[in-house]
Amino acid sequence: MADEPLTAWSSSLFDCFEDASTCCYGFWCAPCLACTVSGRFGENNCLPLCDICGPAISAVFGIPLCVPPAVLSMRAAMRNRFRIKGSLCKDIAVSCFCVWCSWCQMHRELKHRRKVPTVINVQSQTIVNMQPAPVMMMPANPQQVCFTSQPGVVMSP
């Protein structure tokens, strides 16, 4: 697996018109989109709520929180799992300044990975069914065949 080449994201960060349904979903209910992506990726569905509630809770305690942890960790994990080009610095920048575009891009990536066709090679096989030829069995003492044309008269060959 380490020898596999790195690939690019299936869509750009701002490719909203490539899959408008994803971006509309993200626009109308961004937390729902983030939770869906997290669940489809195999993480806890509530993980993105850390990005929503985390800054508010940390601000109450006076702790500044700059980078949303859930989107950053999901983005980095997705890049590693699917062998996508990029760096942690780019992930941090995207997570800080384009949070919802990042969730949309990850959603499109998961949809793309699910659609990848499976190629099945089918080879025809020649099957030869070898059965013995039918054998006609003749009785040991064949009976003579007689033809009659009139009652009481027997003609033999």
Whether 125 maps to a domain, the answer reads no
CA-derived radius of gyration, the chain: 38
pLDDT band at 81 (very low <50, low <70, confident <90, very high): very high
Whether 77 maps to a domain, the answer reads yes
Whether 137 maps to a domain, the answer reads no
Whether 132 maps to a domain, the answer reads no
For tokens 């929180």, the residue is 65
Report the distance separating Cα 143 and Cα 14, nearest Å.
97
Q: How many CA atoms lie within 13 A of 98 on its CB side?
A: 18
Report the distance separating Cα 44 and Cα 74, nearest Å.
11
pLDDT band at 154 (very low <50, low <70, confident <90, very high): low
For tokens 């899959």, the residue is 19
DSSP per residue, 27-74: HH-HHHHHHHHHHHTTS-TTTTHHHHHHHHHHHHTT----S-HHHHHH
- Global confidence as pTM: 0.64
Quote the percentage of the chain above a pLDDT of 90: 20
Residues 90-122: tens digit of each pLDDT = 999 998 888 888 988 999 999 888 875 556 666
Contact between residue 35 and residue 106 where contact means Cβ atoms under 8 Å apart: no
Whether 35 maps to a domain, the answer reads yes
3-state SS of the chain: helix, strand, coil percent to 5?
45, 5, 50
Whether 73 maps to a domain, the answer reads yes
pLDDT band at 68 (very low <50, low <70, confident <90, very high): confident
Whether 25 maps to a domain, the answer reads yes
Whether 75 maps to a domain, the answer reads yes
Question: CB atoms < 10 A from the CB of 73, how many?
Answer: 18
**Number of independent structural domains in the chain:** 1
- Would you state the pLDDT for residue 139? 63
Range of the domain at 52: 20-115
Contact between residue 154 and residue 146 where contact means Cβ atoms under 8 Å apart: yes
- Would you state the pLDDT for residue 76? 94
DSSP character at residue 148:
-
Helix count and strand count (H, E) for the chain: 6, 0
